[in-house]
Amino acid sequence: MIKVLVIDDDFMVAKVHAGFVNKEPGFTVVGIAHTASDAIKAATEIAPDLALLDIHLPDMNGLDLLQRLREVQPELDVIVISAAREMDTVRKALRGGIVHYLMKPFSWDDLRERLKHYAKTYQPLHVAADQELEQADVNRLFGLGGQNRRPLPKGCSAETMTLVENIVKEAAEPISATETAEKLGTSRVSARRYLEYLAEENLAQVNLRYGGVGRPERRYSWNT
């Protein structure tokens, strides 16, 4: 469960945001703060994974608070939620290391999209800090991939790619390259090339399964 701290000086707005977060599976609000001092105290005591941070607070600018929060919780991730639209504010927030900047007013779907993206890309980085990443993992973190696909790798066919996509989509649980190869009637190496392409395009998600000797097994599930 991803623990969230909501920081907003408006009591009603903070309550609404907390309600939005609690509607999203895998997220739970563990604290609400209406001032910077309360936010620092909550971050220290509760150790949330993610903070929804407003820029305009009565006792401190939200961008200054961002740095203070990182001092007490270095691993804390932050989504800025603010009515501030000035380029300088957005630029400073981005340079401060936030994961998203969402402008008020917004819909539940707007916040939900960002929460889902956070759960899929940023939050897993809090686990197994010494774990080695593949390029596909880094691509997802930086938001690369998507609908405008790059050309298929040399030797890969569009027909086989469609078959692989369907296999991943229809799998009841994350599927390995070996299992995909058996369904395709091809080699594991070939199947993995297609699967890694889907992962790099952010169409499939890589799930690591531990338990054996050596590197964890890479398994793939379709991004919905």
Question: Long-range contacts: 21-29, Cβ < 8 Å, 24+?
Answer: 21/52, 21/111, 21/115, 23/108, 23/112, 24/112, 24/115, 24/116, 26/1, 26/2, 26/119, 27/1, 27/2, 27/115, 27/119, 28/1, 28/2, 28/3, 28/4, 29/4, 29/5
pLDDT digits (tens, 9 = 90+) for 1-12: 999 999 999 999
Residue 189 tokens read as 């190496």
Amino acid, res. 166 = N
Q: Where in the chain does DSSP place strands (E)?
A: 2-7, 27-33, 50-53, 77-82, 100-103, 175-176, 204-209, 217-222
- 210 pLDDT band, cuts 50/70/90, is confident
Mind listing the pLDDT tens digit for each residue in 27-68?
A: 999 999 999 999 999 999 999 999 999 999 999 999 999 999
Q: What is the mean pLDDT of residues 138-166?
A: 73
Instruction: Judge whether residue 144 has pLDDT over 90.
Output: no
Tell me the pTM: 0.62
Instruction: Kindly compute the dihedral angle of the four CA atoms of residues 54, 57, 63, 67, in this order, to the nearest 10 degrees.
Output: -100
CB 128 within 8 A of CB 122: no
